[in-house]
Structure 1
Amino acid sequence: MATRNNPPAPARADLFETLRRPSKNGQPKYARLSDALLEAITSGHWKPGDKLPSEEELAEMTPFSLGTVQRALRQLSEQGIVVRQHGLGSFVAETDLKMEDPWHCRFLDDAGERPLPIYSKAVKREAVTRPGAWCRYFPDAGDNAIRIDRVISVNNEFNILSRFFTDRRQLPALWEKPLPTLHGVNFKRLIMRESNMLITRIEHLVRAMQFDEDVSATLQLDPPATGMFLQAGAYMGRETCVYYQEFFIPPTQRTLVIPDGILGNRR
């Protein structure tokens, strides 16, 4: 990984000034530090490939312990935002994880006006062998059905598990591209750009459900955990399904905006 020469650590201490004030919402210390680091990265203060201050330097620059620093970096590493290399330090990941203009996972900010930023990491891709809800959308896919799992961070406040299903004959790029290149990718844009398929209609189904152990573990929730289960089927025309997605959303006070079902030429 390419690295850049960083300014001395004290020159960056102002980034963490707000951390010296009490938390207004009781957010854990490691989450506050993780948020501050993510804000510095997304604002361009640290760019892809940049080396972050060492764990010891961060502990000196913030009011937090070394253990809190390590937990914050571990969270960013699990989200794919930071790469930790033993003996070398922590670096900003080369891949931009921020997803532009999402159609789903549009949670509003405190003012209820703008969608919060989201960051996605593709964690698994496989051929689908077991029947499930996806069969309704791709009854003729046979051995060509695939599933891509992504962990989506909403403003670094909470994570969502997304399971994306499609027929790889329709969307070969999603099957053939290296998995890390799918981090931060807006799949709908990729579909329209590489497959020339225009999504004209989206069907949504929403219900509350108790998450199974796999979902709870992925979202780092203590079982039994209950949340929102959102299903989205996207169509070209009336009958041709382009993709089907499942979203496992933990409890949150954020407002979720569901896009209109009829999209027309919306991009």
Structure 2
Amino acid sequence: MTKKPSRSLPEIRLAGPDGLPKYLQLKNALAEEIAAGRWEAGEQLPTEDILVEASGFSLGTVQRSLRLLVDEGVLVRRHGSGTFVARRRHPLGGPFRHFRFIDDTGEGILPIYTSVLKRFPVQEAGPWDAILNSRQIVCIDREFSINNEFSLYVRIYFCAARFPELASIDTAKLNGVSFKDLLSRKYHQPAASYTERMSVQPLPAFVIEALKLPRGTVGARLDIVATDQSGDAIYLQHAYVPPNGHQLLMQD
């Protein structure tokens, strides 16, 4: 659960040489406090009015400092909730087959940063059993940050007997890793084809909680099945996409 910001005034020791603009002094001070663990990943910063009172700077100066830290990926803003310390992000290498969101120029693809949220064995029966032809199913849940602007919740189902390393490897080593490339390189099982389906629905509670979205948010769910050259499914992937201002490129 996200910690609520304290209403007490934080002690802010301004950083930087004399003559440095106030917004940079405050930006550096906040960055140093975050690096030192004053505010942990996922924790909410004090509100802007509290930072104004604590620093003695104007609201515009505070907002400019926070905006710089957001641009650098140190902080993230969540509409209607506040400003939070960003989780550590790991860039996902391309070329991409899925989740290609177009930038504001209409020509480039926004960078993707990934982090593993959890891994767990699937106990309940479901369509994944028939798709993967196995009852030894393991899930890995990841957050895909799209250019630190918004995040997807991506859940991948795979057979633990077929890919035992994925079921036991330190999940930190999977941050920033393309599973498609890993399975092709490690197990020599490249995906030959994909089946993709999309639906629009209220996002599940576990997605709402993980991505800090308003309750009842409606988004898209992409169901992706990767198959090998024999037509056998390699993995099943569910990607939950919240509303955002970017187009998703669907063509190969």
Q: TM-score, normalised by structure 2?
A: 0.69
Q: Distance in 1 between matches of 2:85 and 2:204?
A: 24
| 2:138 alignment partner in structure 1 | 146
Residues 78 and 147 of structure 1: is their aligned pair in 2 closer, same or farther, counting only changes over 3 Å?
A: farther
The aligned runs of 1:11-160 (5 Å cut-off) are: 52-54=31-33, 63-64=61-62, 75=76, 77-81=85-89, 97-101=90-94, 102-138=96-132, 140-142=133-135, 144-160=136-152
1:241 to 192, 213, 233: 233
The answer to whether the 8 A contact 1:104-1:259 is kept is no
The answer to whether the 8 A contact 1:147-1:164 is kept is yes
Asked if residue 196 in structure 1 is aligned to residue 174 in structure 2, the reply is no
- Unaligned segments of structure 1, at least 5 residues: 1-7, 18-32, 38-51, 82-96, 261-267
Q: Could you say what secondary structure the match of 1:53 adopts?
A: helix
The aligned runs of 1:244-255 (5 Å cut-off) are: 244-255=236-247
Counterpart amino acid of residue 80 in structure 1: R
Residues 121 and 238 of structure 1: is their aligned pair in 2 closer, same or farther, counting only changes over 3 Å?
A: same
Residues 201 and 105 of structure 1: is their aligned pair in 2 closer, same or farther, counting only changes over 3 Å?
A: same
Q: Report the alpha carbon displacement of residue 258 of structure 1 after superposing the two structures with TM.
A: 2.1
Residues 9 and 167 of structure 1: is their aligned pair in 2 closer, same or farther, counting only changes over 3 Å?
A: farther
Q: Report the alpha carbon displacement of residue 79 of structure 1 after superposing the two structures with TM.
A: 2.4
- Unaligned segments of structure 2, at least 5 residues: 1-14, 36-50, 77-83
| 1:182 alignment partner in structure 2 | 174
The answer to whether the 8 A contact 2:180-2:190 is kept is no
The answer to whether the 8 A contact 1:141-1:167 is kept is yes
Counterpart amino acid of residue 79 in structure 1: R
| 1:223 alignment partner in structure 2 | 215
Counterpart amino acid of residue 141 in structure 1: S
The answer to whether the 8 A contact 2:181-2:190 is kept is no
The answer to whether the 8 A contact 1:170-1:195 is kept is no
Residues 174 and 55 of structure 1: is their aligned pair in 2 closer, same or farther, counting only changes over 3 Å?
A: closer
Q: Distance in 1 between matches of 2:195 and 2:16?
A: 50
Counterpart amino acid of residue 112 in structure 1: G
Q: Report the alpha carbon displacement of residue 68 of structure 1 after superposing the two structures with TM.
A: 5.7
Q: Report the alpha carbon displacement of residue 160 of structure 1 after superposing the two structures with TM.
A: 0.5
Q: Distance in 2 between matches of 1:9 and 1:54?
A: 13
Q: Could you say what secondary structure the match of 1:161 adopts?
A: strand
Identity %: 24
